[in-house]
Amino acid sequence: MTNQAAFSDKQVDTMVEKVKQFQPLSEELNAIPYQDRLALARAVETKIAQERAPGDSLPALVVSTGTDSRGHEHLTNAQYTTPKGTADLYDLPGTIEKQPLKQEFKLDLDGAHSKHIKTGGKEILYPKAQN
């Protein structure tokens, strides 16, 4: 489940500014578990939408999602749209996007990466106890 307290208003504001400056969001977003990641991306999307008046030329952020093989929803893209065009500001961690797999299996990999955020997404077996 999404933990609404997993990110701060300051984080949201920082991300909004990055969007407005065409900066990629992947590094920050992929450093947090996929559930929190999606919640943060949606908060940024909402904030930008709130700042946008009808006919406003401010960019819009459109968050896309997909589901893994167990039905869990993951962030798959964050597309930034201006009158001049669009840009993708988010990629799944590592090389997941490039894997020749069904989308649901790619998102299974994303889920596993999220379980091991503190070790850079790697599940590591040491040959002996690490003291």
Partner 1 sequence: MTLESHEKPEVLMKRDSSLLVGLNDQDTKSFFDNQRKVDSSLTVSADNQTLVFDTKSLYGDSANHLALSSGKGPGDRGTATTPFIASAADFDRLNVNKSMDPKNDVVTRSELTQGILHELIQCNTNGNDRVDRDEWLKISGKFGYDDKTANHLYDLGTRLDKKGYSLSEIADRLITKDYMAADLNNTGSLDRNEFSSLLPKDNPQQPPNKGTDQPIYVPNDNTNPQPTPSDTRVTDGSDIYNQLRIDSGVSQADITQVKSALKNVPEPVRQALRDLKPEIIITPNVPVKGAAAYWDAANNQIVIGAGSGMVQEASSHEFWHVADTRYGITDEPGFKQAAALDLQNGALNKIGGLKSILVDDPIVNGTPVGDVFAEVGVSIDRYYGGNNDQTGIAAAMSRGFSNTENWLRQWTQAHMA
* Shortest Cβ 126–partner 1 spacing (Å): 6
- The single residue among 4, 21, 57, 130 that binds partner 1, judged by CB under 8 A, is 130
Q: How far is CA 8 from the centre of its chain?
A: 15
CB burial string 18-39: b at 16+ within 10 A, e below: bbeeeebbeebbbebbbbbbbb
Q: How many residues in total does the chain contain?
A: 131
By C-alpha distance, which of 35, 102, 25, 22 is closest to 65?
35
- The single residue among 49, 58, 62, 101 that binds partner 1, judged by CB under 8 A, is 101
CA of 125: how far to CAs of 18, 33, 72, 102, 119, in Å? 37, 21, 27, 28, 11
* Shortest Cβ 25–partner 1 spacing (Å): 16
* Shortest Cβ 89–partner 1 spacing (Å): 18
Interface with partner 1 in residues 26-65 (CB under 8 A): 30
- The single residue among 3, 23, 69, 86 that binds partner 1, judged by CB under 8 A, is 69
Q: Which spans of this chain sit near partner 1 (rule: CB under 8 A)?
A: 30, 69-70, 92-96, 99-101, 105, 108-113, 115-116, 119, 121-131
